[in-house]
Amino acid sequence: MNHDIVDAISYLIREKQIEKHAFQEIIESVFLSILKKKFGSSDNFDVIFNLEKGDIEIYCEKEIVPDDGIEDPVTQVALSDAQKVDGDFEVGEDFVEIIDYRTFGRRLITAAKQNLAQKIKEVEKDNIFREFTERKGEVILGDVHQINRHEIRINVDKTEVVMPRDEAIYNERYRRGDTVRAIIKDVARTPKEPLIIVSRADVSFIRRLFEIEVPEIYDGIVEIRRIVREPGDRTKIAVESNDKRIDPVGACVGLKGVRIQAIVRELNNEKIDIIHWNEERSLLIHRALAPVTPLELIPDEENRRIMAVIPDDQMSMAIGRKGQNIRLASLLVGVNIEPIKESDFYEEEELPIDEIEGLSDSVKGKLKTAGYDNAEQVLDAGKEKLLEISGVGEAIANKILEALTVYYED
C-alpha cells in the first residue's frame, strides 16, 4: 500500500503543475484529516511529507504517564512502553511515537487517495483560473477537439477552452483537429472546471493581430484609435502616428501589403479598411467613406446625424452590402451618417416661390395661381409661358427671369 501512495504522489508531482510548498500542505492536510477520522483528533499529530522521496512520516506526541494512569491512549503512553525505546524516560516527559500509515487499513488509505485527488483537482482548477485570468487578452493557438451547435471546444496546453458560436466568425467552418487562433476574452469560475472563453469575433482579436503583425503598433509609435467590425465581412480600423515621420496607414499595410495580408489571411479574407484618424469629424467621414467622395456634408447636431450627399454612381458603394459600409463608417465616426443621392438632394433643395427674392407678393401669387411651385419650374417654363399668365406682361416676365438668374447663374 505504501507504493500505491508514493506512486500516486510521484505522478501528481510530475504531471500537475503545482508548487511544491502547496503540494506539501495538501498532503499533510489529507493525512491529518484521516488521523482525525481514525483517532478522533489530530491535534497531537505531525505529518511530514518528504518531497524528494515522495514518502510520508507521521509523528504522534504523547505524554508519559504511569502504567496504571492511561486515560487516553491517543495522547498518553505508559512509562514502561516509553522506556522500551529509551530507558531514561520519566513520567511527565513528552514521547514521540512514529505512526505507520500502512496499518490504517485499505479503506482509510483509499479515502486518503480520493481526498488527495480531490484537493489536487481543486488546486489545479485554481491554478488554471489564475493562469488564464492573467493571460486575458492574449492570442492563443489550439486544436479543435469537439464541435456542437452552441460552441467549439479547443485544447490549449492541456487545458480546454470554449469558443461560443457568437464568438466565432459566422462563415468559418471548423473540423476536429483544426488549428485555431483566438483571443482569451473572459475567464469565470464554475462548479466544475474554470470556463475560459475565447473569441475570433471580438474587436480585441483584431487589435491583438495588428499588435503582433505591426511592430510600430506594439511599440506605441502607431496608435489604434478605434475599431468597428462586422465579423467575417468587414472591419474599419482608425490609426494615427505619434511620430510625424511614420505614415500610420502605410505601417499597417506593410511593404507590398505583407502585414495586412497576413491579418486578412488569418481572418479568412475579411475586408479591412485602414483609416488615418483625424479629430476633425468631416475629414474623418471623408476618409471613412473612401474611395467614395461625398460632395457635401450637412450636420444635424440636434439629431446627432450628418447628411452625406453622394454622387449617384457611388451611392451603392457608399452604402455597401446590406448597408454595411455606411453602418461601420457611422460607428467609426461616432455619428449617424445618412447618405443621399446627389440628384435626390438637389431636387429636394428646389427653391419655393415664396422664397424668391426681388419679386412682389402679387407676382409670387400670380405664379402660384398659374401652378408653379418652385423657381426651377418657372425657369424651365421660359418667357413665353410666363407671358401666358394673366397679369404678367413683358416687363414682369423679364423681372421674374432676372430674379431667378441670381439662383441659377450656371
pLDDT at 13 over 70: no
Q: What percent of the chain has pLDDT over 90?
A: 51
Interval 231-236 mean pLDDT: 96
pLDDT attached to residue 1: 41
More confident residue, 405 or 284: 284
Buried (b) or exposed (e) across 81-102, using 16+ Cβ within 10 A? ebeeeeeebeeeeebeeebebe
What's domain 2-127's architecture?
Answer: 2-Layer Sandwich (3.30)
Q: For residues 298 and 338, is the Cβ–Cβ distance under 8 A? A: no
More confident residue, 199 or 87: 199
Range in 43-52, 286-295, 354-363, 401-410 the model is least confident about:
401-410
Interval 64-88 mean pLDDT: 88
Superfamily of domain 204-345: K homology (KH) domain (3.30.300.20)
| Residue 34 identity (one-letter amino acid) | I
pLDDT at 92 over 70: yes
- Residue 193: strand pairing partners: none
pLDDT at 106 over 50: yes
pLDDT attached to residue 409: 59
pLDDT attached to residue 33: 86
What's domain 141-201's architecture?
Answer: Beta Barrel (2.40)
Cα separation, 278 vs 240, in Å, equals 8
Q: For residues 335 and 304, is the Cβ–Cβ distance under 8 A? A: yes
The pLDDT confidence band at residue 223, using thresholds 50, 70 and 90, is: very high
Domain at 353-405, CATH from 1.10.150.20, 1.10.10.10, 3.30.950.10, 3.40.109.10? 1.10.150.20
Range in 107-111, 166-170, 392-396 the model is least confident about:
107-111
pTM metric for this prediction: 0.70
Buried (b) or exposed (e) across 42-77, using 16+ Cβ within 10 A? bebbebebeeeebebebebebbbbeeeebeeebbbb
pLDDT at 374 over 60: yes
Each domain of the chain, given as residue ranges in start order, spans 2-127, 141-201, 204-345, 353-405
Cα separation, 352 vs 374, in Å, equals 4
The pLDDT confidence band at residue 4, using thresholds 50, 70 and 90, is: low
pLDDT attached to residue 158: 86
Give the chain's count of helices (H) and strands (E): 15, 15
Q: Which residue in 308, 334, 337 sits closest to 324, CA to CA?
A: 337
pLDDT attached to residue 211: 97
Cα separation, 276 vs 259, in Å, equals 17
Cα separation, 128 vs 122, in Å, equals 10
Strand ranges (DSSP E) for 207-279? Answer: 222-230, 234-241, 271-276
